Amino acid sequence: MDDLKYGIRDKQGNWAPKEPLEIGPFWDAKWHKMGNFMVEFIWPWNTFHMVLALLYWFFVIPEVETLKTLSWGWGLYLFIANATGIFVLYGGIELFYYVQRKQGRRFKYNAKFPSDHPSSVFWFKSQNFDNFLRSFFFGIPVWTLVEVFMLWCFANGYHVFGWIDWQNNWLWLVVLTLFVPAIHEIHFFCIHWLIHRPFLYKHVHSVHHNSMNPSPWSSLSMHPVEHLLFFGEVIWHLLIPSNPIVMLFNMHVVGYGAVNGHIGFEKLEVTEKTAVNSHAYAHYLHHKYFEVNYGADGLVPLDKWFGLWHDGTKEADERMKARFRLKKQKLNS
Ligand SMILES: [Zn+2]
Ligand SMILES: [Zn+2]
């Protein structure tokens, strides 16, 4: 595909989309954009997360009787399932687009590939190796712990509203499912803003920001405290009327969906003419500039409301620089 139809490339070879990032069209009444928005909202990523949640529920998650008792057995089994899933999804994107580089630098925001640039901030000087190990040693274990806790709570009825079934409450559960990406954006914005406060940034979140040019394995490369806050999002499902399948869908939006912000390419070419949109640009700009775009991609535009939104335009760049200057002045005075 010709990526210059969709964006521009600077002298260093970095690519950027021509069109500014947009928040959910319903926030500024751009109703004519709703059709396209809904298609992108459902296909392919959220469909993927939902299909995987159903596959987990029917083929992976043990019987309710088993879930009632905490044990290493099914915990370890779920860990293997999550680790395998992440290895296949993240590893697949890494293999095709970063190792084999099948689309070269087309649609790639940062012209550099992390593996070509060893850095001492990473374990073994390798962003890939460091990020991979942090994901599998800390990220997926914390994910699994939270998942085990949630399933155990559901199975035992440790829930404000109990286990809501689909037969009698399907309409509410469908609505809740559609709202999961919004729950994710709000929760993520809040914890993300919090860990950007100086103390927590220094001791916790800086681990994730070592990857200034993120690639798939950067997605879950975090400090364990951040993992806990990040996967802790699903705890909301103990406080609102919910069902384990919706909780699993939310878990997958968090765990598998973390890759979206860290793909590093605007589009992943699948064939000559078709490509999947990554939705990665907002979070790519966060890794580039740090103090912008704390949320995901503007579904609930908290960044915009708090003056932290960077949509990739020159104007947004100026606003950001003015904000940084003001902050510096305040610190100096
Ligand atoms: Zn990130
Ligand atoms: Zn951050």
Q: Each residue of 50-82: pLDDT tens digit?
A: 999 999 999 999 999 999 999 999 999 999 999
Cα 271 to averaged position of ligand 1 atoms, centre (Å): 28
pLDDT category of residue 95 using cuts at 50, 70 and 90: very high
What is the percent of the chain with per-residue pLDDT over 90, rounded to a whole number?
Answer: 99
CA distance 275 to 261: 17
pLDDT of 192? 98
pLDDT of 329? 94
Cα 206 to averaged position of ligand 2 atoms, centre (Å): 8
Asked if residue 41 has pLDDT above 90, the reply is yes
H-type alpha helices, 1-115: 34-42, 45-55, 64-67, 72-93
Cα 208 to averaged position of ligand 1 atoms, centre (Å): 6
pLDDT of 333? 86
pLDDT of 101? 97
Cα 60 to averaged position of ligand 2 atoms, centre (Å): 33
Nearest ligand, CA 284: 1
Nearest ligand, CA 222: 1
Cα 161 to averaged position of ligand 2 atoms, centre (Å): 34
Asked if residue 275 has pLDDT above 90, the reply is yes
Cα 231 to averaged position of ligand 1 atoms, centre (Å): 14
Cα 104 to averaged position of ligand 1 atoms, centre (Å): 22
**What domain count does the chain have?**
1
**DSSP assignment letter at 265:** B
What average pLDDT score do residues 238-262 get? 98
Cα 99 to averaged position of ligand 1 atoms, centre (Å): 20
Residue 57 in 3-state DSSP?
helix
Residue 10 belongs to a domain: no
Residue 147 belongs to a domain: yes
Cα 126 to averaged position of ligand 1 atoms, centre (Å): 17
Cα 207 to averaged position of ligand 2 atoms, centre (Å): 10
Residue 300 belongs to a domain: no
Q: Is 222 exposed, middle or buried (0-12, 13-18, 19+ CB in 10 A)?
A: buried
Cα 209 to averaged position of ligand 2 atoms, centre (Å): 6
Cα 293 to averaged position of ligand 2 atoms, centre (Å): 9
Whether residue 44 has a cis bond before it, omega within 30° of 0: yes
Residue 3 belongs to a domain: no
CA distance 268 to 120: 30
Residue 228 belongs to a domain: yes
Cα 102 to averaged position of ligand 1 atoms, centre (Å): 24
What average pLDDT score do residues 165-194 get? 98
Cα 192 to averaged position of ligand 2 atoms, centre (Å): 6
Residue 306 belongs to a domain: no
pLDDT of 273? 92
CA distance 286 to 274: 27
Residue 314 belongs to a domain: no
Residue 116 belongs to a domain: yes
The two beta strands, 7-9 and 275-277, are unpaired
Asked if residue 241 has pLDDT above 90, the reply is yes
H-type alpha helices, the chain: 34-42, 45-55, 64-67, 72-93, 127-134, 140-156, 166-194, 198-200, 206-209, 224-231, 236-239, 244-255, 281-289, 302-305, 314-332
| List of residues 6+ apart from 64 with CB closer than 8 A | 155
pLDDT of 298? 94
Cα 33 to averaged position of ligand 2 atoms, centre (Å): 29
Domain with 195, as residue range(s), is 43-289
Cα 43 to averaged position of ligand 2 atoms, centre (Å): 27
Nearest ligand, CA 192: 2
Phi/psi of residue 277, nearest 5 degrees: -75, 135
**DSSP assignment letter at 163:** B
User: Are 150 and 247 a contacting pair, CB within 8 Å?
Assistant: yes
Cα 216 to averaged position of ligand 1 atoms, centre (Å): 10
Cα 118 to averaged position of ligand 2 atoms, centre (Å): 22
CA distance 152 to 144: 12
Asked if residue 144 has pLDDT above 90, the reply is yes
pLDDT of 204? 98
- Tell me what the pLDDT averaged over the chain comes to: 97
